[in-house]
Amino acid sequence: MSPIVHAELSWLCAQGLPTRRERILVTLAGVAPDLDGLGLALYPWDGGAAYGSWHHLIGHNIFLALIVAGLCSLAGWRCGLLAFAAFHLHLVCDLLGSGAAWPIAYLWPLEDRWIFPPPWAWELSSWQNGVIGVAATIACLLTALGPRRTLLEVISLRLDQTAVGMVRRLARRPI
């Protein structure tokens, strides 16, 4: 699943939190397992070999989940719990939607045992991930009608309010 969809799903999980800061923290927790992907930009000469070997090892385990949730809990216990949940939502989405050949090492470095996706898991470039991505994007836009915010609040309040205004104007237009 793409990091953007991970961010959308994590941000949607955080909608019960009262502050923008907490919602941003939970969103970041939901994309934290993919931070090692920055290595693709830093080390382009290996053709992604290191990324393929290490990606579901370094960032996709319980220990990083506990560290991330612990840091987020400094903003409040609900933020920490939702960060832990968003992190694990990322892991589940990757197991189901990254292809059958990409397991995760949940207990690494204590155990070198891998959790493999179920046989019915789908590939990264599948229609299932496309549907989930479109649904998550629509859900993020629909929050402009209720709580008057969008995922863009993670980046900029000005961009967020511009998007909220656009969505609300579109919603008022007759079909």
Rounded-to-integer distance, Cα 153 and Cα 146, Å: 15
Q: Which pTM does this prediction carry?
A: 0.92
Q: Would you say 59 and 28 are in contact if contact means Cβ atoms under 8 Å apart?
A: no
Nearest CA-CA partner of 87 in 139, 151, 9, 21: 9
Residues in Cβ contact with 93 at an 8 Å cutoff, skipping those fewer than 6 apart: 1, 5, 6, 9, 132
Report pLDDT digits (tens) over 144-154.
999 999 999 99
User: What integer pLDDT is reported at residue 40 of this predicted model?
Assistant: 67
pLDDT above 90: residue 9: yes
Report pLDDT digits (tens) over 111-153.
988 999 999 999 999 999 999 999 999 999 999 999 999 999 9
Report pLDDT digits (tens) over 48-73.
666 666 777 888 999 999 999 999 99
Nearest CA-CA partner of 114 in 52, 61, 64: 61
Q: Would you say 140 and 150 are in contact if contact means Cβ atoms under 8 Å apart?
A: yes
